[in-house]
Structure 1
Amino acid sequence: MSKPDKKQMRSAARFFAVQALFQMESSGQTVERIVREFESHRFGEVLDDGSEMAEGDVTHFRALIDAAVNWQARVDQMTDRALVAKWPIDRIDPVLRALFRAAGGEMVATDTPPKVVITEFVDVAKAFFDEGKEPKFVNAVLDHMAREAKPAAFS
């Protein structure tokens, strides 16, 4: 098997970050414990069927988790403003909430271009929600959040 490239590893880190944030919220575990678990049990794990989980960029994974946790209040406010019809973030699907927190953290705390963040996290949404309206919904919400977080990227 060929070694994954940096882009694939960063994509895998985003996917794992959404899973980790979801697990943190649903289990009440600390960020330190979740990060340790993911780094030791998820990255590069071989599954029962012999397939291998994607190798993730551990540094990017940690940065996403840190940003999502440290910027959560701002990101949640941005998400609330992006959600239509006064649908607060605490009422949306917990996987989507984790996704918006990871993406929002990356938008506010890194130099990743907002359009890259949007594209990458729409792909993550597609991985969690095969069919349906969720990826389009994610695209619309993240676009709104990106215009608020980094307006210069859209001028």
Structure 2
Amino acid sequence: MQREHHPNAQSREWAVQFLYQCEIEKLFFFSANHFDRFASDFGVEREHTAYFRRLVEGIFDNLSVLNEKIEAVSENWTLARMPVIDRCVLRLAAYELLFTDTPKKVVINEAIELAKKYSTENSGAFVNGILDKLAQK
């Protein structure tokens, strides 16, 4: 069954890739130059740019809050112990759960799909467990 690829789903995918690149480069703040270069290098279509940018700016603007909320529901897991991609997916989903009106089910399902696509075979279940707890709070 082919999943419908919603424009916001594509923006989320780019957001995870951008966050991953920032993690690897130890860039823990939003940089417009870095964003513009990424968007250009990855061929981000103009209609996706606004939502993609809103996501990553929001994540960086609220990074300490997101980290606290994720760790508060992550039993025996610090963010530092998590695979980098899982950390990026969780921050994206936590941002959407806490700061947008995107339906919780959509946020969680998209996050699980991203974790399955880009991380380990156990990441979908791991991300689901943390986000379920976060969504209930």
TM-score bin, normalised by smaller chain: 0.7 to 0.9
Q: Which runs of 4+ in 1 moved over 6 A?
A: none
Equivalent AA in structure 2 for residue 128 of structure 1 = Y
The correspondence for 1:142, drawn from 122, 131, 136, is 131
Residue 56 of structure 1: CA displacement? 6.9
Aligned residue pairs: how many?
132
- Residue of structure 1 in register with 2:11 after alignment: 13
1:117-142 residue CA offsets vs partner (Å, 9 max, x unmatched): 0011111111113x621101111111
Structure 1's unaligned 5+ residue stretches are 45-53, 149-155
> For the structure 1 residues 41 and 142, does the alpha-carbon distance in structure 2 shift closer, same or farther, using more than 3 Å as the test?
same
Residue 43 of structure 1: CA displacement? 3.1
- Residue of structure 1 in register with 2:40 after alignment: 40
- Residue of structure 2 in register with 1:113 after alignment: 103
> Which is greater in Rg?
1
Query: CA separation in 2, counterparts of 1:108 and 1:38?
Result: 26
**Structure 2 residue 25 is matched with structure 1 residue 24:** no
Structure 2's unaligned 5+ residue stretches are none
RMSD, matched Cα: 2.1
The share of aligned pairs that are identical, in percent, is: 27
1:12 and 1:56 in contact (8 A); partners too: no
SS of the residue corresponding to residue 112 of structure 1 reads coil
Residue 89 of structure 1: CA displacement? 0.9
Scaled by the length of structure 1, what TM-score is found? Answer: 0.76
